[in-house]
Amino acid sequence: MRGPWSRREILRAGLATGAVAMTSGLTTACAELGFGDTLERIRREGVVRLGHAGERPFAYEDDGLLGALPAVHRVVFERLVGEGVEVVGVRTLFRYLLEGLNSGRYDAVAAGMFIGGPRCDLALFSAPIYCARAALLVRKGNPVGLSDYASVAAREAKLAVLGGTAEQSYAAAAGVARERLRVVASQREGVEAVAENDADAFTLTSVSLRALVDSLRAQEPPPDRPDDPALDGGEPAELVEVLDPFVPAVEGQPQLGCGGAAFRKTDQALRDAFNSELTALRREGRILPLTEPYGFTRAEMPPSDVTTEQLCRTGTAGAYLDPLPR
């Protein structure tokens, strides 16, 4: 795996895409409502609610809220509130994460959400916590001969995408026709679509697909699931493989995705306090040890001089979607 990306690569990403930023009247209305001082309320109640999409290895629930992002959030909020702070997960579909944030369902988003494009109009983002390349999950043996989004478009393959993700945007920008995109609601649904030949590939970040397949292979098959002849007698995870990661391109420019925590526009004090502790954790060298148990490596650690402001200027996450990813 290639090492961390350079600042020049990330700054270059997206500058020539000509992506059109969209706006949302719903989000504007939510921002105007206000929810008081969220950080003070968290300190008073000792509880922080994190929105997530159940996406391994970023954030998911398995006898508690787990994942690389909650691991970082938990330590940050312990520093901000105290060791007794309760971190509660609130799961929703990925495409509704920012809408749920702005409607007050939770205090922050801890998910595999790239910083950039219209998302920066919808929420405040922390400093980047990770960077991740894309990958394709295909049937074993890669019968269609895919490698990246351009190959999906060239072969008119059918691609499963998690609704509202940057990967959906990148695939569309690479020329994958809308009718060749199958939007799925969950990671497992994407794997099953490929295993059952309902899609030629499923795309997410490489680190996410690796963790997903490892998790599914470790699980016992559901005892009540009816036999499915499309699976050829095997479990879905045994019929698929993850291809080598790649950097998506839009109009020839690399789109290097970096993600962080998201907060309401009215919660700048909370975002700034979060950033202060995040900076301290990075200075202490603790981010990688916190995320490493979930499959993150040094290659997923962002360069220290890449900022959220740069990513918001150059990123195109969500810019090609209609409707706007929520």
Closest Cα partner for 326 from 73, 77, 88, 105? 105
pLDDT given for residue 224 in this prediction: 42
pLDDT given for residue 321 in this prediction: 38
- 227 pLDDT above the threshold of 90: no
pLDDT given for residue 48 in this prediction: 98
Asked if the domains at 7-131+255-314 and 134-246 fall in one CATH topology, the answer is yes
- 17 pLDDT above the threshold of 50: no
Residues in CB range of 282: below 8 A, 6 or more apart:
304
Domain boundaries, the chain: 7-131+255-314, 134-246
pLDDT digits (tens, 9 = 90+) for 175-201: 999 999 999 989 999 999 999 999 999
What mean pLDDT is predicted for residues 198-222? Answer: 87
**Strands 253-254 vs 201-205: parallel, antiparallel or unpaired:** unpaired
- The listed CATH number (3.40.190.10, 3.10.330.10, 3.30.1360.230, 1.10.3720.10) that belongs to domain 7-131+255-314: 3.40.190.10
DSSP H or E segment with residue 211: helix 206-218
- 108 pLDDT above the threshold of 60: yes
Task: Give the three-class secondary structure for 240.
Answer: strand
DSSP H or E segment with residue 155: none
Residues 171 and 284: their CA atoms lie apart, in Å, by 37
Name the band, by pLDDT with cuts 50, 70 and 90, for residue 29.
very low
pLDDT given for residue 234 in this prediction: 57
pLDDT digits (tens, 9 = 90+) for 116-173: 888 999 999 999 999 999 999 999 999 999 999 999 999 999 999 998 888 988 999 9
- 34 pLDDT above the threshold of 70: no
Is 3.40.50.720 the CATH number for 134-246?
Answer: no
- 21 pLDDT above the threshold of 50: no
Average pLDDT, the chain: 84
pLDDT digits (tens, 9 = 90+) for 234-273: 578 889 999 999 989 878 878 778 999 999 999 999 999 9
Q: What is the DSSP letter of 114?
A: B
pLDDT digits (tens, 9 = 90+) for 276-289: 999 999 999 999 99
